[in-house]
A = this chain, B = another copy of it.
Amino acid sequence: MQKKIFLNESDMPTHWYNIVADMPNKPLPPLNPKTKQPVGPEDLAPLFPMELIKQEVSAERYIEIPDEVREIYKIWRPSPLFRATGLEKMLDTPAKIYYKYEGVSPSGSHKPNTAVAQAYYNKMEGVKKITTETGAGQWGTALSFACAQFGIECEVYMVRVSYDQKPYRKIMMNTFGASVYPSPSNRTNAGRAILGKNPDSSGSLGIAISEAIEMAVQNDTTKYALGSVLNHVLLHQTIIGQESIKQLEYAGDYPDVVIAPLGGGSNFAGIAFPFLHDNLVNGKNVRLLAVEPASCPKLTQGEFMYDFGDTAGYTPLLPMYTLGHNFQPAAIHAGGLRYHGASVLCSQLLKDGLIDAVALQQLECFEAGVKFAKSEGVIPAPEATHGIAQVIREAEQAKKEGREKTILFNMCGHGFVDMQAYNDYFEGKLTNHTFGENELKEGLTEIRSMQPSA
């Protein structure tokens, strides 16, 4: 049986797919937190190149991928689709399991799909430097690589605690030529203010965002980049799902369910939106299932309302499923899933019942990750184990019901630079997390007062 399905480079999709075109209810606009009025392109211009702002608000169904971006994509794209024959055998399941593997990219995750596109549009508009924040480091690594391709300087503010705990990620960024600063840093007013109060601050993504934004707005040729949540970021990831559909065609198959972990939403959107197009336009009926960690369950326990995208409250108000921008998720190793909200597009689709969500505990996820490593030979990133755990649930259900079922999941990255997480798991240092409902209630009460009047 064929294990891997590759596409030729000439079969690589030529356009990104924009789900907005097919959404029955269009996403609500982001709001200015003071005026509660919709934010216009001019508000975003200091941060992003105009072409990305246009994509952010576009309702065109297909947006062409520039040739220069496609050339760089060829380093790792089209990415392989695998039949998980080893896992199927281990589970003794009648289900057919496929996974799209994004770990073959330069940074080892799906993030370069948007990083390269963003770096390209910045380059076209004369940008010399891009600033960003990074937590666990996946996004910072991807942007560092992308900037190196276009000769753009890259400056990364890395949350202090991750900077200290995950030195390999920092070194990877340095290797691609980026400057990496632990955040809070003394390079910005925002950083200095925090350090003034607490010189030992371990930082947060919110602080790092404000440092990166502060550096970007100071200079016309410096811009800022974000690795998830925004519409244009999700757009760039849709190449994943489009390739998967073609690859499954070659395999003569089509999924009953598509599974992916959801942090901000770009990984999930990347594989799910092209299948959702099939549901909405081509009469298909595939279940689209986002998996979130039980310790940060915005989709299954959060509420749909306007909230800030960042902890510090610098962004516009975004309509999304949220646990409140002050919610502090437990320090699970799946750093990419520790985000209080879900992207506007994913949130609207969940509200409209077009996608589903489930929350899983981390011990089940790591157990699944080890099974996958042994049976498939690929050690998954902690984020990716959430998808795998749900796949195993579905495959076991199929076995119980004695029916064939085709499962596709997005294996968003490898775990080579996250091995400490596995060690903590083996040593029994990890626990499951009871979600703090009281904390949630408090956080959401605060946000309720910020909602625009109906």
Q: Are A75 and B168 in contact (CB under 8 A)?
A: no
Residues of B within 8 A of A6 (CB): 6
The smallest beta-carbon distance between A162 and chain B, in angstroms, is 14
Closest beta carbon of chain B to A294's beta carbon, Å = 23
Tell me whether B419 and A378 are in contact (CB under 8 A): no
Binding site for B on A (CB under 8 A): 2-4, 6, 9, 71-72, 74-76, 86, 104-106, 108, 145, 148-149, 167-168, 171-172, 174-177, 370, 373-374, 376-379, 414, 416-417, 419-420, 422-423, 426
With both beta carbons as reference points, the residue of chain B lying nearest to A83 in the complex is identified as B74
Task: Give complex CA distance A171, B427 in Å.
Answer: 11
Closest to A379 in B: B175
Provide the residues of chain B in CB contact with A171, threshold 8 Å.
419-420, 422-423, 426
Residues of B within 8 A of A9 (CB): 2-4
- Nearest-Cβ distance from residue A144 to partner chain B, whole angstroms: 10
- Copies of this chain, count: 2
Cβ-defined contact, A174 with B426, below 8 A:
yes
A376 contacts B75, C-beta separation under 8 Å: yes
Contact of A174 among B104, B148, B422 (CB under 8 A): B422
Q: Are A422 and B175 in contact (CB-based, < 8 A)?
A: yes
- Interface-central residue, A71, A105, A419, by most chain B CB under 10 Å: A419
Known: A2-B74, A167-B419, A175-B426. 5 other contacts (CB 8 A): A4-B9, A168-B419, A171-B423, A175-B370, A175-B373
From A426, which residue of chain B is reached at the shortest CB distance?
B174
Across-interface contacts of A74 in B (CB, < 8 A): 2-4
Q: Which 7 A-B pairs have the closest CB atoms?
A: A106-B377, A3-B74, A416-B416, A168-B419, A171-B419, A148-B374, A171-B423
Taking the closest CB of chain B, its distance from the CB of A440, in whole angstroms, is: 34
Quote the shortest CB–CB distance from A430 to chain B (angstroms): 14
Give the CA-CA distance A148 to B106 in the complex, in Å: 27
Closest chain B residue to A377 by CB distance? B106
The answer on a CB contact under 8 Å between A176 and B374 is yes
Q: Cα distance A76–B4 when bound, in Å?
A: 8
- Could you jot down 23 A-B contacts, CB within 8 Å? A3-B74, A4-B74, A72-B377, A75-B86, A75-B376, A76-B377, A86-B149, A104-B104, A106-B378, A145-B377, A149-B377, A168-B416, A168-B417, A168-B419, A171-B422, A172-B379, A174-B426, A175-B373, A175-B374, A176-B373, A177-B374, A416-B417, A417-B419
Which residues of chain B have C-beta atoms less than 8 A from A71's C-beta?
A: 3
Min Cβ gap A362→B in Å is 16
In the assembly, what is the distance between CA of A74 and CA of B172, in Å?
Answer: 29
* Distance to closest chain B CB from A337 (angstroms): 20
**A299→B315 CA distance, assembly (Å):** 61
- Chain B nearest Cβ from A91, distance in angstroms: 15
Given A374-B177, A377-B106, A416-B108, A3 and B75 touching (CB < 8 A)? yes
Q: A163 to nearest B CB, angstroms?
A: 13
Residues of B within 8 A of A174 (CB): 422-423, 426
Chain B residues positioned under 8 Å from A177 (CB to CB)? 374
Q: Which of A72, A75, A145 has the most CB of B within 10 A?
A: A75
Q: Are A167 and B3 in contact (CB under 8 A)?
A: no
Q: How far is the CA of A421 from the CA of B191 in the complex (A)?
A: 30
B residues in contact with A423, CB < 8 Å: 167, 171, 174
Residues of B within 8 A of A172 (CB): 379, 416, 419
Bound complex: CA A75 to CA B86 (Å): 9
A417: which B residues are within 8 A, CB to CB?
Answer: 168, 416-417, 419
Cα distance A4–B9 in the bound complex, in angstroms? 8
Chain B residues with CB under 8 A of A75: 3, 86, 376-378
Query: Which chain B residues lie closer than 8 Å to A3 at the CB level?
Result: 9, 71, 74-75
